[in-house]
Structure formats: structure tokens, C-alpha cells
Structure 1
Amino acid sequence: MRSTSLLRQATAPAASDAYAKSLAYATDLVRRTDHEAIYASHFYPANVRPAYLALRALNVELAGLPDQVSNQLVGRMRFQWWKDAIKGLYNGTPPPHPLMTLLASLPQRPYLSAYHFNRLITTRENNFLNPTFHSLQDLADYSAGTQASLLYLLLQATAAQPSTTGNPSIAIGRGALGDDGLRHSTPFQHQGDEHDVAAGAESGVKKEADDLTLDHAASHLAVAVTIATLLRSIPHHAGRRTNVIPLDVASKHQLREEALFRNGPDAEGLQDAVAQLAGIAQAELRTARECFDGTTGVPKRAVPVFLAATPARSYLDRLASPKVDYNPFDVSLAKRYWKLPFQVWGDARNSRF
């Protein structure tokens, strides 16, 4: 008994120190490379905030990987390392990486779906190998594998709460388990009445949104966030001779890739193509909100997750302003927007997105 107690005392500080360093690593990574996401972290409960930072940091690591490798072979090896790391995480043998250490230490870890981790990595890898979106459906699939998977993991983390028996419990909707029934049958063609009125709404009785509603709303929000992110990245990718605008949209507006690479903001059809994509993103945001019609709104525990909408909405509003007029190369869009922290605070306080 005495030797066991001494061993526990000797190892506990080391484990605590490793956890603290891993959390600091994740926080610093998000603050440096995804600074807008750090604002939402303040509205997560203290026991969920490390999970949020770990998941956002992992997304940053994967998204930035293509810019860190010199060729596809090295890139594929790096992505395979992350796949093996996730496998080790669920086998109880995570590799010595700060994010894996942090994820392994999370109380919510048993309730985070390995499916979405693997889907996130695989989708990022496929986009690295072939970064061209041939159609809007390609963009929808990319959104489902990246932003939607990330949002589903965050919803799972916020749902992992202690039960009255002292054991953690969690309810996960079909979308969080990877059910493809939530995919758009016809992507980005909303009419405004896609979603049936929630049960009880006609009688004036509103019920709390269930997990399936959250998942469905998250799938639409993911598309809006994906489009906003891609539009913001146009100058970065154009400088590397990569076009992130779906080819069917570019063709519709006579936007040629070579003109985009050479002429940047002066490329013919660029602003029209950007305006179409921005309009789709705004429609997806509206549809995500409609998912909560007939309910009491976004449940309190999920409010921080849906704050992912705020930076995207803020960017889209500035992009559509008369001064910018859908020019993604406008220098004002590259600057930190001083109103954004207040917008995040307002959305969190009013449980809106």
C-alpha cells in the first residue's frame, strides 16, 4: 500500500505537468493560427474548454499540413501518422505529441467518435492530393468531412455530462454518428421550407431541440463556415496557383484559373463567382437557423459550438459591403476586425448565431 501510494505521488505531478504543457501548446496554436476561434473558447464551460482547444488545434494542424511539406509523398506520410495517432489514442497508446496527450487526458474522450476524427483526416488528405473542387457537390462533401465533423465532435464534447449516478452519459444524434441521411440530396438549393415544423409547434408548445436537430443545423452551418473559409483563402491559394472556387461556379461566370493566378482581384468574373458562393453561405446560415423553428432555440450547452458561425457571418457581411463589393483581395478583409470579439460576446449572451 505504501509503495503504491508513493508511486502515485511521484507520477501525478509529472502527468499534471504534461497535461498543462499540452493544453498550453493547443491554446497557443489556436491563438496564433486561428485567432478568431479563441474568442469562443471563453464561453465553453471550464471542463469542456480543453476539449474545444484540443479539437480546434488538431484542425489547425491538419489544415496547415499542405503548406509544410515539399511533395505529396511526404504529405501522405504525415497524414498517415495522424491516422495512426488516432488509432493509438483509441487503443490506449497515444504517441508522444502534445495534442494526443491532451486528447487522451480529456474526460470527454470516450464519447468522441473515432469516425469523425478519421473522416476529418481523410478528407483533409484527399483535398491535399486533389485540391480542385469540380462542383458544388465536391464542396458539400468537403464540408461534411471537415467542418461538419469538427462541429459534431464539439457537440459530443458538450453533451458528455455526469449523470445522477455519477457516471458520464451522452446522447448522440444520427448525424454525430456519421449518418449520411443528413447530406443534401440537392446541394445548396434551399427554398426556405425544407424543414418540417417541429412537433408541437402548431399548438404553440415548443420543445427543446434534440440531438438530430443539432446535427442537422450543424451540417448547414458547416457549409457556411467552409465557404467563408475558402473565400478568405483565395489570395493565399491563388499565390500558390491553386483555385478553391468550384469549377462549375467559375465556368458560369467565365472566370479562368490562369487569369485568377495572374491578375488576382482584376480577374474577370471573380467578384460574380465570389458573390454566388457568399449568397450560398448566407442561405445555409438561414437554413441552419430554420432547423430550430418550433423549438426553444439552441440548447444552452450547444450555444458555444454554434459560435463558429459568428466569424463566418462577420466576414460574409464585410465581403458584401459596398466598399469591398465581393473582392476577396481587399486588404481590409485581411486585418483583424475589432468588432468581432463583441459580436461573439453578443451571440453567446443572446444564444443566437
Structure 2
Amino acid sequence: MRAMWQELDNRLMRADPDRRMATLFAPRTIRRRLIALYAFNDELARIRDRVTEPMLGDLRLAWWREVVEEIYDPDAEVRGHEAALGLSHAFSSGAPPRVWIDRMINVRARDLDAEPFQTIADLKQYADRSAATLMRAAVWLTLPGEDISAAGEAAIKHAGIAWAMTGMLRGFAADLAHNRRWLPQQAYDEAGVSVADMTRDQDPEAARALFKPVIASIRREHREARARFADLPSEAAPALLYASLIPAYLDRMSRPDYDAFAGKGEPPLILRQARMVWASATGRL
């Protein structure tokens, strides 16, 4: 069992280091539950990179639906996959509402669709159903069964949306290289740039113009989350702390010399660690 948890932790360190860092602020038993949830999310997120056509992705999503069915059935035996077994153990003493876990799977069907989002509102809806739903489940694991206030729920929603959209900007160049367009057509239209400016010319100036309205929208979401963060019980903080890194990412991407295609610009690890420690100590996201 210890080897399984170590493997999931190592995998998360490589695939999702910021969320993994935030788990270090949780008690050990809660931390393991969060790691299992995030490892499950990573499996879902990587499906699009592992398949060559949408039908194969749909089959993988169906497989995970069967896993969740087994986990929520007390009489079923969960298949021997590390992430599946980890999630089963994480939920053994209480599972979050299944509708959230099902939603995390179902929303990933959108990852297999080559059509871009049309509006920023469409993008936010996806972010709410993916990253914000993951955050809701994580908060539940820190406070099993406890009611969260409306303001606390709003903090989770805004933080999750802001984090997902920030991730789309961070992965912009890599996604374009795989013919994936996460940023909506609305952002292209408002910036007055074309897809060709990105895919053919890889114009950093055009990318900065494209990012500008999206960054502004993310900052609004983050401000809303920050204003309501104190309405969540302190025990829930490890489920949201990584959202405290959003301003650092956005500040780097807002620089006049930022090059989205250069593969640089991530805040140093020490800065991210310090930011998260500060957020934990002050209770400010």
C-alpha cells in the first residue's frame, strides 16, 4: 500500500506539481485522499494525449465510468489500476457526491472535440465543470459531509475557473502544436489576431494581444475567489491553496516581452513555494 501511495505522489509531482504542493499543507490522511483524487484527474486529463481518435478516448472515459461504478458499489471489487485503487481507498471512509465525479469524467469528452470554444463564457462553463468540480470534491475530502456556505461555494467556483483558464494559457503553445485550440474565438476577434498568426507565424506580439482579454477575465475570477476565501473553513485551505499562484503566473504572462512560444516564463519553484506558504499563513488567496 505504501508503494502505491508513493507512486501516485511521484506521478503527481511530475504531472501536477502545484496541486501536489498544496497537499503538503493537509494532514497526512487528508493528503493521501487529495493525492488520489488528483491522480484520478490526471488520468482523465491525459486521455486526449494518449489516443489518436475521439472514439478511443470515449472508450477510455467509459472505462473510468465503470471504475467509478465499482468504487461507489460497496459489494464490487475495484479493478487493479493504481489510480483506481487509490481513489477507492480515498473514498473508503466517505465519498463526495457521485455527481461531481461523474461530471469530471463526462466533461472530458469535450477534450476530444477539435472545435474551439466560441466565447469566454463557454470556456468558463467548461472550467467550472472540470477544475472547479475537482476543487469541490477536494474541499469535500477535507471536510467530509460538512455544509459549505454560499460564499464559500462561490470561492471554489471562481478559484477553479481561474485556475483552469490560467492552465490553458500556460499550455497554449504545446496545445497549438497538437492542433488544439482552447482559447475561444471571441478572444481572437477581440484581439484582432488570427489562428495563422499563432500556428504559422508564432508571433509573440499577437499572442500577447490574444492573452490580454483572457488574462483580464482570469483576474476578475481570482479577485472574486480571494474576496470569499475567508468564508471557507480553514481546513479546506489545502484544496484551494494552489490558486494563490495565479497572480504570479499572470504577471509573468503580462510582461511586454513575454513570448508564449519560447517555453519559458514559469515562476521559479521557490517563488511558488513562498507564495503558497504566505497564503496558508495569512488566509489570503
TM-score for both structures, normalised by structure 1:
0.75
Distance 1:329 1:116 in 2: 35
| Corresponding residue number in structure 2 for 1:198 | none
1:268-292 CA distances to partner (integer Å, 9 max, x unpaired)?
6421220110111111111112235
Among candidates 275, 278, 284, match of residue 346 of structure 1: 278
| Corresponding residue number in structure 1 for 2:122 | 138
The 8 Å contact of residues 139 and 236 in structure 2, kept in 1 or not, is answered as: yes
Pair 1:258-2:196 in alignment: yes
Distance 2:195 2:123 in 1: 17
Among candidates 219, 223, 226, match of residue 157 of structure 2: 219
Among candidates 293, 296, 301, match of residue 235 of structure 2: 301
**Structure 1 residues 306, 65: closer, same or farther in 2, change over 3 A?**
same
Among candidates 131, 143, 146, match of residue 171 of structure 1: 146
Higher helix share: 2
Pair 1:81-2:63 in alignment: yes
Larger radius of gyration: 1
Unaligned runs of 5+ in 2: none
1:42-191 matched pairs, under 5 angstroms = 42-92=24-74, 93=76, 94-106=78-90, 110-130=94-114, 132-160=116-144, 170-173=145-148
CA-CA distance at 1:328 after TM superposition: 2.4
Among candidates 215, 221, 228, match of residue 278 of structure 1: 215
Asked which structure has the greater RCO (Cα within 8 Å, sep 6+), the reply is 2
The 8 Å contact of residues 114 and 181 in structure 2, kept in 1 or not, is answered as: no
**Structure 1 residues 298, 336: closer, same or farther in 2, change over 3 A?**
same
| Corresponding residue number in structure 2 for 1:316 | 250
CA-CA distance at 1:316 after TM superposition: 0.9
Distance 1:108 1:220 in 2: 29
The 8 Å contact of residues 197 and 206 in structure 2, kept in 1 or not, is answered as: no
The 8 Å contact of residues 48 and 111 in structure 2, kept in 1 or not, is answered as: no
Paired residue secondary structure (1:352): coil
Among candidates 288, 298, 303, match of residue 225 of structure 2: 288
Distance 1:35 1:288 in 2: 21
Aligned residues: 283
**Structure 1 residues 301, 131: closer, same or farther in 2, change over 3 A?**
farther
Distance 2:165 2:196 in 1: 22
The 8 Å contact of residues 228 and 316 in structure 1, kept in 2 or not, is answered as: yes
Unaligned runs of 5+ in 1: 1-18, 161-169, 174-209
Q: What's the RMSD between the two structures over aligned residues? A: 1.9
